[in-house]
Structure 1
């Protein structure tokens, strides 16, 4: 599988992936999906809701690919794995909710901070209630889960729960990793992803 699709978190910051992408072999094509209306990307007159944005993101997946998704981007990745089974050949989910209900976990509420920092953004990420929990056992692709043990937004318990539900998953813990570990700990994360890619 030569095409990798990168899906950012709720900030929509595509540059977040740069330190990681630099360490993935050149023979992979890297497709970083930008979200219209987020992080300086022009708005799209057809996008008015989280569902619209989800449809837009999934439409960018046009060839067999492995999806690498961080935080809220993982919701798009799960949706794609369920709806585009012919094209999604693998998943790397990093500090995400994966479209499950987080109420049972002691997570830090990021929404108020997000609305203060990204005041010009649409509020879809904050208000969305995407729920794919019942469908997760249907995902049959090999999945690498990467979590940090210092992440209050998506604590290890979330990763452990997803590791139980997803049929073909492996959980890797980054010691000292927080919610931005894919960027801050890119060296360590790249080793895990490159190993996963060799096996898939």
Structure 2
């Protein structure tokens, strides 16, 4: 495995999100938190998704793996597009990845999100850019992890992403929802470990 693995959470923003999986794998990676999202303290310098992407890209100065969940997957895709030469392996869990979701049956997450995190930054709910064409250019081997009980990012999203990412593998975990890295950590860790070693 490359020395550096970057773990990117979703809009919950907590650096602890991927810890159960990383601990099982024995990986001491770099764990990002997202200022102003979830319960994370805001940072005046972070006012958009672009700023989160810039924060991650700054850490890519050699070979890396990117392991990302949900909104973090959009950041990972954009970082991979910015520095393709350094991306060894991608792991994308229950993410739009920058795809439009209107025709894929995805539930709108915004209402529940702001009820759970009333102080979270409003910019995270802004519509994203369609990255479908750019995603096709990513060459890094990608593992796609989905649950069959996730209304926010249903399996159809993973299937479309898999078609765009050449050589990607989609694994669906029975009974798993949007937080599968925490609720199904052993299964997720096994799949990620095999992918990163492969």
Taking structure 1 as the reference length, the TM-score comes to 0.93
Superposed, which structure 2 residues align to 1:1-200 within 5 Å? 1-25=2-26, 28-199=27-198
Displacement after TM superposition at 1:57 (Å):
2.8
SS in structure 1 at match of 2:128 = coil
SS in structure 1 at match of 2:143 = strand
Provide the C-alpha distance between the structure 2 equivalents of 1:155 and 1:61, rounded to a whole number of angstroms.
30
Measured against aligned partners, the alpha-carbon deviations of 1:136-172 in whole angstroms (never above 9, x if no partner) come to: 1100010000001111110111111111111120011
Displacement after TM superposition at 1:61 (Å):
2.7
Q: Which shows bigger deviation, 71-80 or 81-90?
A: 81-90
Matched-pair contact (CA < 8 Å) for 2:12–2:39: no
Taking structure 2 as the reference length, the TM-score comes to 0.94
Matched-pair contact (CA < 8 Å) for 2:39–2:117: no
Provide the C-alpha distance between the structure 1 equivalents of 2:62 and 2:194, rounded to a whole number of angstroms.
22
Paired residues in the alignment total: 197
Structure 1: runs of 5+ lacking an equivalent: none
Displacement after TM superposition at 1:54 (Å):
2.2
Provide the C-alpha distance between the structure 2 equivalents of 1:85 and 1:102, rounded to a whole number of angstroms.
25
Structure 2: runs of 5+ lacking an equivalent: none
Aligned-residue RMSD, C-alpha: 1.4
Displacement after TM superposition at 1:22 (Å):
1.1
Measured against aligned partners, the alpha-carbon deviations of 1:89-117 in whole angstroms (never above 9, x if no partner) come to: 11000000000000111111111111121
Measured against aligned partners, the alpha-carbon deviations of 1:162-196 in whole angstroms (never above 9, x if no partner) come to: 11111120011101111111110000011101111
Matched-pair contact (CA < 8 Å) for 1:69–1:94: yes
